[in-house]
Amino acid sequence: MMKSRLVVLILGELNRLNKYNVFSISILVAFIWGTILFFLDEALLGSLLPFVLLIDATLMGVIYIGAVTHFEKTESTISTLLVTPIKNSELVLSKVIANILHNLFSATLIILVFIFLKDVDINLLLIYLALISSTAFFTIGGLCLSYYQKDFTTMLVNIMVISFVLLIPSALYLFGVLTSPAWDYILLINPIQAAQEIIMGAFSGYEYTYKYFVSLAYMIVGSILLYQFFALPKFQDYAVKQSGV
């Protein structure tokens, strides 16, 4: 019964994303990125393609979950669900899984272009492991962030500020601007750097070190801890507040 309810909820979340043209926007964004990357030099492509997938799994993952919570507020969805047998765990999981599926869809569009047209060597098993674990972490983190936002505009501003603080060091590190060995350790606490590390691990030429396995553990264990000790316990208070009860 729980599995069937969860499937229905996931389909409902995906339908809401489609209803508000989020899938269309994803296709457009993937097309734009694909066009830009297609005309890049091979050397630059090796750095920029992982960076684009990183943005899709982290920043866009947070924005999309923010959009979902905004749609729920405008549609008064939560107040209806509170009087059903659906558990909070099912509601939270459905949002996370739907966002993962949506982000995998947009990332796959980009990946396929470069596998068939640019002959980019990507380990599909590792890239999907990286995308799923990273998207899960940032989706749950974005959901936790949305609990405390008054409106979607405020959330976007806060996302941009947080992303600027976390993303800039990782981008500078990726493109070789930050070269000191100390950054190898400093950036281990940065979740975006962790996501970047495991995404890079799917591309040929990557040298596996402790950083890859620490980063993968960071995303997986961090997702579980965020879900278990923050996203799920705080969801009831958030749902009650949004329903006006």
Mean pLDDT of the chain: 82
pLDDT in tens, 107-154: 888 888 777 766 677 899 999 999 999 999 999 999 998 888 877 788
Instruction: Give the pLDDT score at 72.
Output: 75
Range of the domain at 100: 2-243
CB 95 within 8 A of CB 238: no
pLDDT value at 42 more than 70? no
Q: Side-chain half-sphere of 116: how many Cα atoms within 13 Å?
A: 7
**Of 192 and 60, the one with more pLDDT:** 192
Provide, rounded to the nearest whole percent, the portion of the chain with pLDDT above 70.
Answer: 89
Q: How many domains would you assign to the chain?
A: 1
Instruction: Give the pLDDT score at 81.
Output: 67
Average pLDDT on 166-192 reads 82
Average pLDDT on 79-85 reads 68
20-29 core/surface letters (b: 16 or more CB in 10 A; e: else): eebeeebeeb
